[in-house]
Amino acid sequence: MSTSKDLEGRHLVLGLSGGIACYKSAELVRELVRHGATVQVVMTDAAQQFITPVTMQALSGRPVFTSQWDARAGSNMAHIDLSRQADAILVAPASADFIAQLAQGRAGELLSLLCLARPRERCPLWVAPAMNREMWSHPATQRNVAQIVADGATLMGPGNGEQACGEVGDGRMLEAKQLRDRVIAQFQPQVLAGRRVLVTAGPTFEALDPVRGITNLSSGKMGFAIARAAAEAGAQVTLVAGPVHQATPWGVKRIDVQSALDMQAAVMPMAREHDVFVATAAVADWRPLAAANQKIKKEGSGTAPQWAMTENPDILAEVARLPQAQRPYCVGFAAESQDVARLAREKRLRKGIPMIVANHGPSTFGQDDNALLVVEDGQDTELPRASKLQLARSLVQLVATRLKH
C-alpha cells in the first residue's frame, strides 16, 4: 500500500524531554517523515540520557538541536528561528517535569524556551505526556496540565496500560502511529466542528445456528474511513460496526453489532441525536426466520437443511422516515455491479434521502481505494479514484456544505 502524503509541506518541531518513551519517538519521526513532513528534532539534556541525537538525526535527516547556545541558527537564536519555521511543535515525550516547566513559562533549556517563544496564533503546541501513573495522577501534574491546556496547548494522550516500571495505569505515551494520526487530524479543516455524525459500517451476520451464518464481503474500510474523516473534521462520531477487523479511529465511539436487527436496535434510538447519518453498512437483505439453538448436525439427517427467510428492516429508509425536525441529514451508499449511476438515482428516490454515494461493488469490497459518484437532487459529483480515506475526507467536506446552520 502506498503511503499517503498527508503531511506534505508541513514542517514540525519534534521535542523530546526525558523519559523512557523516547524510544517511541524514533519511530514517530519516521512516521511523520514517511507521511511527507519535514521534522526538526530538539532534545533536552534528559532526553539524551534515553536516546542519542545520532539516532534522531539519522531518522529525521537533519542535525538535532540540543542547546540554546547552538551557533548553527542563522541569527544565533535557535529558539526564535526554529519556532518561526514550524507549523507546529509536538513535544513527545513530555515528562512531568517538562509540563511543569511549560505551566510556569520557564525557559531554561532550548525546548522550553522555544515553546515559550513560539508565535502562538500560528504555531500550535501539542503535548504527548509520558510518565508513571502516580506522577500523572498527582494533583501537581494535573494542575500543570490544566494550566497548559488553558494556555492553549493540545494534549495528545496519555494512553493507558502497562508501564516501563511494571505498573499499569494512565500515563503511557501514545504509540507512534496513534500520534502520527493525531498530528494528521490536527491539519484537517474543522468543517464538522460541533456536529454529531452516526455511521454504520461493515457487513451484518445473520445466524443460521450458533456457529454458522449468512454474511458478505464488506470489509468496513469505507465506513471506518468516513468515521475517521468526520472525527478529523471535528465531529463527535458514533460508529455502529458489523463484524469487521478494523481498528477504531481515534476519538470515535464504536458499537459492535452482529445482525441487521442488532444494527437497527443500535441505530434507531440514537439517530435523532445526530446531525448526519451515513449508512455504509452492507446490511443483509434477508435473515433466516429462526436460527437453530444448537449446531445443526450433518450426520444422520439425510437431507440438507432448509431455512425460511424473511426480509430485514431497511435501517437507512427508516431513519429517513423520521419526522423532519428529528431527522439527521441522510447519506446512503449504493454498491452496484452495473448501470451504477441510474440505479443509484433510483435508490436515492426510493429511500427518500438527499444524497447517495454510488460505487462499483465488486471492485471496491476489501480494496484500499475506490472511485465514487455522489448523486443528489439534480446534480452528480464525481470523486475520482483515490484512497478510501481521501474519498471520505472529500465526502465529509461535501456533506458539511449541505448542512443547515
Catalytic residue positions, numbered: 165
Among 42, 145, 316, 396, binds ligand C5P (CB under 6 A): 316
User: Applying CB under 6 A, which part among 81-89, 95-103, 307-315, 320-328 lies near ligand C5P?
Assistant: 307-315
Count other C-beta atoms under 10 Å from residue 23's C-beta: 16
Binding range to ligand C5P, per CB under 6 A, among 18-26, 118-126, 239-247, 314-322: 314-322
Least CB distance from residue 353 to ligand C5P, whole Å?
8
**The length of the chain, given as a count of residues:** 405
Rg of the chain over Cα atoms, rounded to whole angstroms, equals: 25
Per CB under 6 A, the list member of 82, 89, 260, 358 interacting with ligand C5P is 260
Binding to ligand C5P by residue 206, rule CB under 6 A? no
**Stretch of 29-37, 54-62, 224-232, 273-281 lying at the interface with ligand C5P (CB under 6 A):** 273-281
Query: Any idea what DSSP says for residue 312?
Result: P
Buried b (16+ CB within 10 A) or exposed e, 113-150: bbbbbbeeeebbbbbbbbbbbebbeeeebeebbebbee
Can you tell me which of 70, 109, 181, 314 binds ligand C5P, judged by CB under 6 A?
A: 314
Contacts of 378 (CB under 8 A, 6+ apart): none
Work out which of 12, 13, 334, 340 binds ligand C5P, going by CB under 6 A: 334
In contact, 180 and 35? CB cutoff 8 Å: yes
Rule CB under 6 A: say whether 95 interacts with ligand C5P. Answer: no
Cα–Cα distance, 205 to 284 (Å, whole number): 7
d(CA 263, CA 244): 14
Of residues 172 and 351, the one with the C-beta less far from ligand C5P: 351
Decide: 102 and 129 in contact? Cβ < 8 Å: no
Interatomic CA distance for residues 373 and 298, integer angstroms: 46
CB of 200 to ligand C5P, least distance (A): 6
What mask, x for binding ligand C5P by CB under 6 A, covers residues 339 to 368?
--------x---------------------
Among 136, 224, 333, 365, contact with ligand C5P (rule: CB under 6 A): 333
Contacting range for ligand C5P; rule: CB under 6 A; set: 57-65, 225-233, 296-304, 326-334: 326-334
Name the amino acid, one letter, at 81: D
**Identity of the residue, 141 or 359, whose beta carbon is nearer to ligand C5P in the bound complex:** 359
Binder among 283, 340, 372, 391 for ligand C5P (CB under 6 A) = 283
Instruction: Identify whether the C-beta of residue 362 lies closer than 8 Å to the C-beta of residue 217.
Output: no
